[in-house]
Amino acid sequence: MILIFLGPPGAGKGTQARRISEKYRIPQLSTGDMLRAAVASGSPIGQQAKTVMDAGHLVSDEIVAGIVAERIEQEDCASGFLLDGFPRTLAQAEMLDRILADQDRHIDVVLALNVDDKALIDRLKTRVKETLAAGKEVRSDDNVETFSKRLEVYQAQTAPLVPFYAQKGLLREIDGMQPIEAVAREIDDVLGHSGTAQ
Ligand code: AMP
């Protein structure tokens, strides 16, 4: 099963993706996590990505698609994987189609988590408070200013993927405004009915 989670920052993609990854035993590939790991390692890609990420902009399509292409060739992705945070532009979506076609594979379903902007900002503030209260470090792009930029970038560059995947008949919209458990149930329903769940 190859599954994509689409949605604005803070929509709950990571949370839901983690659960689905455990339930269906397929790896969760988060390009945000991969890029943060590259930043932490101090690699050339990481150094390049850090400035872009801290400004709330997108890392180049070629870099991100290259990271994903390499990752999905690994053994643990043989029976499927889920993408969380990729693709984020039409160019990335087209690159992904080509990468998968070369491997004779295809996307099974795209889950779009819908959450309105005000709720996303509220969630961000809560997340920052909770992270600080737990004595942990807040992500360098988790502040209201950068987050607003990330939302703008989402609307301009990533939202066009919704009609792109709808046209292909792959899109399933999920009400991400509900509590986590209700969102999870809606996703389970969709996967149960789409014939993709193993
Ligand atoms: P995320 O953890 O998914 O919110 O991603 C954090 C940041 O990493 C984003 O704001 C981008 O700067 C960068 N990033 C993650 N995924 C991508 C992607 N598919 N394309 C470009 N940049 C990305």
Active-site annotation, residues: 13, 88, 127, 139, 150
Cβ(175)–Cβ(119) below 8 Å: no
| CATH value at residue 18 | 3.40.50.300
In a domain, 153, yes or no: no
Alpha carbon distance 16, 33 (integer Å): 15
In a domain, 137, yes or no: no
In a domain, 43, yes or no: yes
In a domain, 76, yes or no: yes
Task: Ligand 1, residue 52: give the atom nearest the CA.
Answer: 12
Alpha carbon distance 124, 12 (integer Å): 11
Total domains present in the chain: 1
In a domain, 150, yes or no: no
**Which ranges of the chain have pLDDT less than 70?**
194-198
Give the model's pLDDT for residue 177.
96
Give the model's pLDDT for residue 65.
97
Q: Which domain holds residue 164?
A: 2-115+159-193
Give the model's pLDDT for residue 197.
55
Give the model's pLDDT for residue 2.
97
Instruction: Tell me the CA–centroid distance for residue 193 and ligand 1, in Å.
Output: 30
Nearest CA to ligand 1 atom 2: 32
**pTM of the shown model:** 0.94
Task: Ligand 1, residue 13: give the atom nearest the CA.
Answer: 3
Alpha carbon distance 147, 103 (integer Å): 36
In a domain, 67, yes or no: yes
Give the model's pLDDT for residue 196.
62
10 pocket-lining for ligand 1 (C-beta < 6 Å): no
pLDDT in tens, 108-166: 999 999 999 999 999 999 999 999 999 999 989 999 999 999 999 999 999 999 999 99
Give the model's pLDDT for residue 193.
77
Instruction: Tell me the CA–centroid distance for residue 130 and ligand 1, in Å.
Output: 22
